[in-house]
Amino acid sequence: MLLALMVVCLSASAQFEKGKWIVNPSVSGLALNHNSAADRTSFGLQAQGGAFVADNLALLINLGAAWNAASTDMDLYQAGVGLRYYFDKVGIYMGGNVGVDRMEYGHDLGHRTLFSFGFEAGYAFFLSRTVTIEPAAYWTHNKDCSDYGLKVGFGFYF
């Protein structure tokens, strides 16, 4: 089993080379995302796509949304850019991003747009040469609140 895992990790490194592309849709929250300002849980979707600008370093564009169902509804829409660094040959990655968060408040209470930044750490587990399952922990912060949680995504490397 250990030998098979090592072979998968070694073959995975070829996908992190300069010139390769990545597409990464993910589901965040799943009752594990917690917003510190509103003290509530949400469900969200996110999509990332980008290119490896150097070996093990990807430049990404991010789009996301999170919906809340509470007495003080607040939906969140995000757009931004980020970098992700893959530690050579193992699939572990760390990343950071900056973006714009638009918060839509329910019951005609208006909206607010703020700049944000965030970090994530995860693992790209290769199911095949080009498809991964990517669990990750993340944290984002803007002027109003911090948001942290777990997400699971699929990565497509080509």
Structural domains of the chain ordered from first start: 2-157 (2.40.160.20)
Distance CA 69, CA 75 (A): 9
Residue 6's pLDDT is 46
pLDDT of residue 72: 57
Residue 9 confidence (pLDDT): 47
Identify how many contiguous H helices and E strands the chain contains and give both numbers.
1, 9
The whole-number pLDDT of residue 135 equals 92
* pLDDT number for residue 19: 85
Q: Which pLDDT belongs to residue 32?
A: 45
Q: Quick one: pLDDT at residue 36? A: 57
d(CA 69, CA 14): 43
Q: What is the pLDDT of residue 60?
A: 95
User: Which regions of 36-109 does DSSP assign to beta strands (E)?
Assistant: 40-54, 57-67, 74-86, 92-105
Residues of the chain with pLDDT under 50: 1-13, 29-32
